[in-house]
Amino acid sequence: MEAAWPADLPAHDERHLLAAGRSLLRADATGIGRTRRPDVFGPLKQVLAPAFAVGRFRVQAAIARRDGINGAVVHLVWAGRDRGGTFTDGRITDWHFTRTTTSKGVSTWTVRPPV
């Protein structure tokens, strides 16, 4: 992926976005951490059975790249074994982020909820 999509973000932004993207994917796939992110996953009124167990899920590759002027996308390729026991690798998930600046001039990355 690195050769096909060369790096275009500062290294510290890329590291931060990759960590955030992995965390969001883990929460989405395994359910762990969803309640801490109602801005992304919505209010969880009932406990949803996770599609993947923690030990049956892994990120195979990940990159973070620019997406427009104030945006970035974290592109993750991952593998997992679902509740039915079917293992599939090469799954793809993208998380999109927007760079915002606080009133104090601090720049942060904010995830855009999936549509």
The domain containing residue 101 runs over which residues?
11-111
On whether residue 5 sits in a domain, the answer given is no
On whether residue 35 sits in a domain, the answer given is yes
Residue closest to 19 by CA, chosen among 59, 78, 55, 53: 59
- Please check whether residue 20 is in contact with residue 98, taking contact to mean a CB–CB distance below 8 angstroms: no
pLDDT (tens digit, 9 = 90+) per residue, 21-53? 999 999 988 888 888 888 888 876 555 667 787
State percent of the chain over pLDDT 90.
46
Name the pTM for this structure: 0.86
Structure tokens at 83: 């509740």
- Please check whether residue 39 is in contact with residue 110, taking contact to mean a CB–CB distance below 8 angstroms: no
The 8-class DSSP code of residue 25 comes to H
On whether residue 3 sits in a domain, the answer given is no
What mean pLDDT is predicted for residues 97-109?
Answer: 89
On whether residue 2 sits in a domain, the answer given is no
The total number of structural domains in the chain stands at 1
